[in-house]
Amino acid sequence: MADAFTMSVPTDARYRVLASEIAGKFVELVGGTSADGAALGSTVGEALDRAATESPADDVVLEFRADADGVGVTVRHAGRSAVVTHPLPARNT
């Protein structure tokens, strides 16, 4: 399992939902619980919703990474970026 990957999604609500679900599953794949996945998925969803409101025509790039401290997602859109993190204290690298 790779500990990092990048994806691009349209700002259309149908794709934003999928990106949030992928964020949640990524957390679970790297050792988090389903609750950890739901928490990160929700936070990523909020970041995607803000991006879609700011500039609905542009795609959003999500950069996922996992390390000893947890999971981070950098959300890049229309020249701006935000970092969403979720700690996973029991993660083994």
User: 90 pLDDT exceeds 70?
Assistant: no
Band of pLDDT at residue 1, cut at 50, 70 and 90: low
Note the pLDDT tens digit of each residue in 29-54: 999 999 999 999 999 999 999 988 88
37-45: long-range contacts at Cβ-Cβ below 8 A with a sequence spacing of 24 or more?
39/86, 40/71, 40/73, 40/84, 40/86, 43/84, 43/86, 44/19, 44/20, 44/73, 44/75, 44/84, 45/16, 45/17, 45/19, 45/20
